[in-house]
Amino acid sequence: MQQKIIILDFGSQTTQLIGRRIREMDTFCEILPYNKYPEDDSDVIGVILSGSPYSVHDTEAFNVDLSRFVGRLPVLGICYGAQYISHTLGGKVEKANSREYGRANLQEFDGNCPLFKGFDVNSQVWMSHGDTITKIPEGFHRVASTEDVEFAAYSNYSQCSTSGVQPIFAVQFHPEVFHSVQGSLLLKNFVIDICGSRKEWSAASFVETTVEELKKQLGNDRVILGLSGGVDSSVCAVLLNKAIGKNLTCIFVDHGMLRKDEFRKVMNSYSTLGLNVIGVDASEKFFRDLAGVEEPEQKRKIIGRDFVEVFNAEAKKITDARWLAQGTIYPDRIESLNITGKVIKSHHNVGGLPKEMHLKLCEPLQWLFKDEVRRVGSQLGMPENLIKRHPFPGPGLAVRILGEITPEKVRVLQEADDIFIEGLHKWKAEDGLPLYDHVWQAGAVLLSTVRSVGVMGDERTYENPVALRAVTSMDAMTADWAHLPYEFLAKVSNEIINKVKGVNRICYDISSKPPATIEWE
């Protein structure tokens, strides 16, 4: 039985980072809504309570029945989780005199506490809370403080060491974020030393167990998979092909908004992998249905609807198909609907199946983060040009064109985008690797609702600007703008303006996520 850590999500923006840190320790973890603790937890070795946008005193605050796991399993409360434990078990949480946000340093921490094994004096941590714990429950003791926070960490581990009861640890800071310098060490101490993880989660073990599970799940049934040309669906296809071979049929729909020559290049790549792929050019239908539409979410929905219609028409030709496979990954599932029930944006491969398809759903990558998908692809022997491809949105360039979508606007953006991406491949960073390898995701955005004045030769122009976007990230849940060399940006800017008719100005997007998103629409 595979061990796992359960992370109960109370709505924090950084809950997914906790999961990432734990997966990096070769330990499987599952992020669940705060009220969905599993009935059968025989494979669970520890529980983490996340932060939250709420105060424990808010009427809409999320509550969980601690008795289901407290004492039976090691527990770590983070920020709201720490305050909730104190509030529920008899401690006291009050409004802080001022919001405690930003860097702080741990003082007077208990060096005997297993959670802080190996910690340095004055270790920097990141605080982000409006309430603070002013009294801890009976049987607990202070483990660490900062200049402004008396109970930066507390625990009952010393009470539990000889009783056989599993301990509770609680911290009011966020160990999962980069600014908590030894945060990964804290999580490692909890997951490996306290919970006893055997570190069995790896790309190799995932491939082995998933292939066997797919064989049992699918048997001799025929499976249809929608390919997008991206990493997720490609890895999903190769994984399924390893499990069921000729019983897999892939369909690659060209909606007309792919990158320059993308359809041809991707079809060539798939043929070298031995996949059975049907290519469908449906661009005319997509452009027709998008005519006059400017609202971003409506564009996404039209593209999603048309994709299903085209895909369904092609799938019906495979009369003995029983399953639809999708390359859905964990961040897709998490970001489409967060714990508060608010849609951030629609993902084209999240949300179930159209009833008329009469197929069962197969999502073998649904628990993986993007970098884990890449490791699985490498384990499967896939070529680097597919594994290292940057993420690309399902609606394609449609979400990188502000305003109405037309074939001419797509052509302009394809040319500009191609110059940018090829430039990232060719320009070497200081370590000798291409800039492309240092960037999580990159692309050009056509600001077709904006026109700017320019001068070319002796003539004035009135054309569209293009914004370049390049970000660094671990899993797209948060992202920072990539600090590309000025010389590179100058070269790319000149090349786009000189070669792409209709563009006379280049901007570089230096927004982080949050508050911005990676895509413009």
Backbone angles phi, psi at 112, to 5 degrees: -85, -10
In this predicted structure, the answer to whether residue 339 has a pLDDT above a threshold of 60 is no
Catalytic residue among 87, 129, 174, 255: 174
User: Per mean pLDDT, which range of 119-123, 411-415, 483-487 is the poorest?
Assistant: 119-123
What is the average pLDDT across 115-138? 90
Backbone angles phi, psi at 463, to 5 degrees: -130, -175
What is the average pLDDT across 134-144? 94
The pLDDT value recorded for residue 344 is: 36
User: Per mean pLDDT, which range of 155-164, 214-223, 354-363, 507-516 is the poorest?
Assistant: 354-363
In this predicted structure, the answer to whether residue 283 has a pLDDT above a threshold of 70 is yes
The pLDDT value recorded for residue 400 is: 95
Question: Confidence class of residue 458 from pLDDT cuts 50, 70 and 90?
Answer: low
174 is catalytic: yes
pLDDT digits (tens, 9 = 90+) for 299-313: 999 998 998 899 889
In this predicted structure, the answer to whether residue 102 has a pLDDT above a threshold of 90 is no
Catalytic residue among 29, 79, 113, 250: 79
The pLDDT value recorded for residue 349 is: 47
Amino acid at 390: H
DSSP letter at 57 equals: T
Compute CA distances 212 → 125, 200, 208, 321, whole Å: 43, 17, 7, 20
Mean pLDDT of the chain: 89
The pLDDT value recorded for residue 444 is: 97
In this predicted structure, the answer to whether residue 292 has a pLDDT above a threshold of 80 is yes
Please, where are the H alpha helices in 273-349? Answer: 283-290, 296-315, 330-336
In this predicted structure, the answer to whether residue 353 has a pLDDT above a threshold of 60 is no
> What CA–CA distance (Å, rounded) separates 8 from 78?
11
176 is catalytic: yes
pTM: 0.75
Catalytic residue among 100, 176, 372, 415: 176
- Which residues sit opposite 33 in a β-bridge? 9
438 is catalytic: no
Residues 6+ apart with CB under 8 A from 266: 227, 229, 252
What is the average pLDDT across 203-224? 93
Using alpha carbons, select from 61, 62, 74 the residue that is nearest to residue 34: 62
What is the average pLDDT across 81-96? 92
Q: Which one is predicted more confidently, 449 or 348? A: 449
